[in-house]
Amino acid sequence: MVAPAHGAGAQGSTSAGLMQTRQAEKAGEPSPEMQQEVLSARDSLRATFRSGRTRSYEWRLKQLQNFERMFLEQEKAITAALAEDLGRPPYEAILCEIGGTINELRFMMDNLKTWMEPKSVPTPLALQLGDSRIECVPKGVVLVIAPWNFPLNLAFLPAAQAIAAGNCVVIKPSEVTSACSKLAKGLCERYLDADAVRVIEGGVLETTALLEQQWDHIFYTGNGAVARVVMAAAAKHLTPVTLELGGKSPVVVDRGLSDSQLATACQRIMWVAHFINAGQICVSPDYILVHKDDEQRLLQAMRRCMAQFHPRDDTSAVCKIVNERHWDRVQHLVSSSGGEVFSAGSSPSDRASRFIPPTIVSRPDPEAPIMREEIFGPVISVMPVDDLDAAITFIQERETPLALYVFSPDRSRAEHVVSSTQSGGALINDAMIHLANPHLPFGGAGSSGMGC
């Protein structure tokens, strides 16, 4: 009589727990099991941190070396996952996702010991019995929420930076790039200290469960809408955040560029805006402000550049839009722009393969969605302006971009644009390459990010 009652009670408890889980998932809330998994992972990492294990130079260096070895040894697996998720060609994966990450890791390893050393500072005369110094102290357990556009670089690089600072890390890869998410989990378990680094896969519910917990720092890369959710969750625990967002990064093309200078400017703009990751980059040039007298010269140069970069209708040589939802979004931005549309090649946009050809939109409606929302695709708009001051005003009236690009034959005029506007970073006569300088900080201002 007792045993069956015990068995029935256990079955009843299991059924109730399952029902509770299903009800939570149906309501869009993390299940108790999911919350417990996240809490267990965080507490385990916190115990590792409190043991002091992650503070030593030797441990930090070893983890960075393991990161480097991971990228060197797993090049084929990484390129295959990126091809599956994004249709990214191998050369682009090696250039942007593997090579850039390895360079940053080596920079960290070369400078780690110096960064860890205390910095002596002057002591006032009244306090001369003592001395003063600044020490960089690890925070604890860091949560890294990664995006889908560079799913491995932007998961592992912030994690490596947190580890270099002596912290434990939870990495939440993007569920949109599922092959890369699965690979990230397997690589971390194989190469890194499992007591200090965890990967938790999943979607919105898993991210919600993670954000309900208290962390010592949160690093989020993505869009502004989700960033507001992240920041609100962090505020409940007064957790500091690093938000790397994006926005509409403008290009100012000054008058007076020679034909060769204009051709070079177009190559540098369009290589990033159209051909690297199909423009799915947070610092991708989003729109061009050009002096009205040079508008047609610029458009002609851009069309020649498109033909040069995309000479054949070989869609396998370019990256694809990440999924059909984003393909629909980019297509709508173009179709509702109110401008004249030019596309490269003769291959049309194709939803099934998620292909959008490199596209220029000339003179869109300034109030159209394409001029209000980040494009995040192989599309760039061109708007004529009366002069540099009009371009500056146009930029000032909009949200602060993550990047600003100025192309001018006159350095003082270019510096005038930079000093008269706000942006996370600014580059004169080139695009995006400032990201390759490890000596520069990278981050936004206002709606394009904070906390770098």
pLDDT of residue 314: 67
pLDDT of residue 313: 64
Encoded tokens for 387: 């002069």
| 426 residue type, one letter | A
pTM value is 0.91
**Residue 442 CA, distance from chain mean position:** 11
Cα separation, 382 vs 363, whole angstroms: 6
SS3 337: coil
- Report the catalytic residues: 244, 282
pLDDT of residue 129: 85
Instruction: For 53-102, write each residue's pLDDT tens digit.
Output: 999 999 999 999 999 999 999 999 999 999 999 999 999 999 989 999 99
Widest CA span in the chain: 95
Cα separation, 420 vs 396, whole angstroms: 8
- Residues of the chain short of pLDDT 50, as ranges, are 1-25, 27
Cα separation, 36 vs 363, whole angstroms: 53
CA dihedral sign of residues 308, 310, 314, 317: positive
pLDDT of residue 4: 30
pLDDT of residue 20: 41
Say if residues 361 and 334 touch (Cβ distance below 8 Å).
yes
